Copies of this chain bind each other. A is one copy, B any other.
Amino acid sequence: MGKYISQSVIRRLPKYYRYLRDLEKNGVDRVSSSMLANALGFTASQVRQDFSCFGGFGQQGYGYKVSSLLEELAGIIGINRRHTAAIIGVGNLGRALMHNFHFSHCGFELVAAFDADKNLVGKKFGDVTVSDIADIEKYFAENHVDVAVLTVPKEYVRDVAKKVAGLGISGIWNFTHIDLSLEELGVQVENVHFAESLLTLCYGISLGEKV
């Protein structure tokens, strides 16, 4: 309990989870560390090491039962705790998430979306209706929100982040290219930095072009 788990391991958990879901969907009920390793580009040792961080869920000579491994992973990651999320900033990206992203597959329910644009307030995208950002404090006071999804223009990022951090959330899913560190407030930040991703790709293809 409370054992430190390295970031490397944590980043692999969703990959296991997703692949095991596929296996289950396809009716596979048994899997070995080497099968997982093959499918995901890891090594069998690594797979067993990873699982043993949490106590080892396999059986010698047999491998892992897909359904129970999946259940363990869901428990570890915390999917099935019915976390809630609210989108802040309903621009194209916010709308893309509202329409196309399956929060439920990650164990989240998208419960609200906020924007300052009066023309958007009251409009519905996916299952959620946009609320006025002016009402955010009231809403957060009356409803428990675990994660704020930040998709606001960069001018507003710091203010919005500070505000929601004071409203009892546990995490921020940050799509802006501003780095936030709110750890001291007990708020986890997970960044999705498009530019860094594209620049990494840029480096890779440039390398191939070198004479």
* CB-defined contacts of A147 to chain B, threshold 8 Å: 201, 205
- Cα–Cα distance between A101 and B103 once the two chains are bound (Å): 23
Docked-complex contact B206 and A77, CB < 8 angstroms: yes
Docked-complex contact A170 and B205, CB < 8 angstroms: yes
Given A205-B83, A205-B171: A100 in contact with B106 (beta carbons within 8 A): no
Choose one: B83, B199, B208; the contact of A106 (CB below 8 Å).
B199
For A172, the closest partner residue in chain B by CB is: B201
How many copies the complex holds: the figure is: 2
- Cα–Cα distance between A194 and B194 once the two chains are bound (Å): 11
- Cα–Cα distance between A14 and B207 once the two chains are bound (Å): 15
Choose one: B79, B170, B186, B195; the contact of A199 (CB below 8 Å).
B79
For the complex formed, measure the closest distance between the CB of A44 and the CB atoms of chain B, giving whole angstroms.
Answer: 19
- Check A93 for interface membership: any CB of B closer than 8 A: yes
Enumerate chain A interface residues (CB-CB to B < 8 A).
2, 10-11, 13-15, 17-18, 76-79, 81, 83, 91-93, 95-97, 99-103, 105-108, 146-147, 170-171, 173, 177, 186, 188, 190, 192-210
- Cα–Cα distance between A65 and B16 once the two chains are bound (Å): 45
Docked-complex contact B95 and A195, CB < 8 angstroms: no
* CB-defined contacts of A196 to chain B, threshold 8 Å: 11, 14-15, 18
Docked-complex contact B18 and A195, CB < 8 angstroms: yes
For the complex formed, measure the closest distance between the CB of A107 and the CB atoms of chain B, giving whole angstroms.
Answer: 6
For the complex formed, measure the closest distance between the CB of A121 and the CB atoms of chain B, giving whole angstroms.
Answer: 19
Q: List 25 A-B contacts (CB under 8 A).
A: A13-B200, A18-B195, A77-B199, A77-B202, A77-B203, A77-B206, A81-B209, A83-B206, A91-B96, A91-B99, A92-B96, A92-B99, A96-B96, A101-B195, A102-B195, A147-B201, A147-B205, A170-B205, A170-B208, A173-B197, A188-B204, A188-B205, A190-B197, A190-B204, A192-B197
